[in-house]
Amino acid sequence: MSYMHELPLVFFTVLGQLSAGMVLIGGISSLSHYSYSLIKINKMNMAALIVMAVAMLIASLHLGHPFRALNVIWGIGRSPMSNEIFSFGLLFGITLVCVLLTYFSYHNDGKKWLLVNSLCQRIYQIPNFSKILSLLLIFFSLIFVWMIALTYMLPTVKTWNTYYTAIQMYTSMLVLGGIVAIVFGIFRIGIISFFTGVISILLLKIPYINLMTSVSPELTSKQYIWMLIQCLLLVLALVLVIVNIYRSKQSTIIYSIAFIIVLVAELCGRIAFYNLWTIQM
Q: What is the pTM of this model?
A: 0.89
Diameter of the chain by CA atoms?
Answer: 68
Distance from C-alpha of 261 to C-alpha of 183, rounded to nearest angstrom: 13
How do the domains of the chain map onto residue ranges? Answer: 4-275
Q: What pLDDT score does 184 carry?
A: 94
pLDDT of res. 5: 57
Q: Tell me: pLDDT of 238 over 50.
A: yes
Question: 5: which DSSP letter?
Answer: G
Q: Count CA atoms closer than 13 A to 164's CA, side-chain side.
A: 21
Confidence of residue 125 (pLDDT cuts 50, 70, 90): confident
CB-based contacts of 80, cutoff 8 Å, min separation 6: 147, 150, 151
Domain 4-275 fold = Formate dehydrogenase/DMSO reductase fold (1.20.1630)
Residue 67 reports pLDDT greater than 80: no
**Which residue in 16, 9, 47 sits closest to 160, CA to CA?**
9
